[in-house]
Amino acid sequence: MGTSPEVLVAYATAAGSTAGIAERIAAVLTGAGSRTVCAPAGPELDPAPFDALVIGSAVHEMAWLPDALELLRRAAGTGRPVWCFSVGGLAHPDGRRTRWMARGELDRIERGFPPGLTPRDHSLFAGVVDVRRSPLWGRVFYRLTGSSSGDHRDWPAIEAWAGKVAASLQAGTPDPDLPA
Ligand SMILES: Cc1cc2nc3c(=O)[nH]c(=O)nc-3n(C[C@H](O)[C@H](O)[C@H](O)COP(=O)(O)O)c2cc1C
């Protein structure tokens, strides 16, 4: 891979907050020297031309939205390095008392990932919560975790994660087209 990798940041969103996170990740990667395309996941989005893929989704019922999962399946077929991010309703996924919940949620989400896909990393970020749109069990979950309606996006945490992705890209990821 050259010094200026071409990176796709793709996302699936229901209410918009995941798009904002994807755009911020793309801005950090661009600032670190990558050529970056940020786009919604969909059948017309081809992951093949990119050197690396960052794919994210809003979480519904402990799973990714179908467009993101479908892109992830195609991404797995490219052999390119893939970073994943999930956007859910847990307001402080890195909090001392909630970190184990975030780990459990990430495990549940990854069970829905295509077999054979091992993301370089998978992070859970808080999104925008609208308790009124949540199913009943979701409202119970929010009550138990002290979450409330609002924008819980933690921009410094998102930028720090994007910075780690940028650092790995700049360090050079193995070119899947080259023999090991
Ligand atoms: C129908 C529905 C189901 C949801 N299920 C979950 C869930 O299982 N786990 C979770 O952490 N958040 C869940 N959420 C919260 C959303 O993931 C969260 O609000 C996120 O920010 C939405 O992203 P978006 O604005 O990009 O659509 C759910 C929200 C809705 C509306």
Q: Structural domain boundaries of the chain? A: 6-171
Inform me whether the pLDDT recorded for 179 exceeds 70.
Answer: no
Are 162 and 29 in contact, with CB atoms under 8 Å apart? yes
Distance CA 151, CA 164 (A): 24
Distance of CA 174 to the CA centre of its chain: 21
- Site residues for ligand 1, CB cut-off 6 Å: 13-18, 58-62, 87-90, 105, 127-129, 133-135, 138
Distance CA 42, CA 121 (A): 22
Inform me whether the pLDDT recorded for 180 exceeds 90.
Answer: no
pTM: 0.93
The CATH code that applies to domain 6-171 is 3.40.50.360
Q: Give residue 125 CA to ligand 1 midpoint distance, Å.
A: 11
- C-alpha dihedral (6, 11, 32, 79), degrees to nearest 10: -40
Index of the ligand 1 atom closest to the CA of residue 11: 26
pLDDT at 145: 80
Inform me whether the pLDDT recorded for 27 exceeds 80.
Answer: yes
Tokens of 105: 């949620």
Index of the ligand 1 atom closest to the CA of residue 61: 8
Tokens of 155: 């921009």
| pLDDT tens track for 119-167 | 999 999 999 999 888 888 888 888 888 788 999 999 999 999 999 999 9
Q: pLDDT grade, residue 96 (50/70/90)?
A: confident
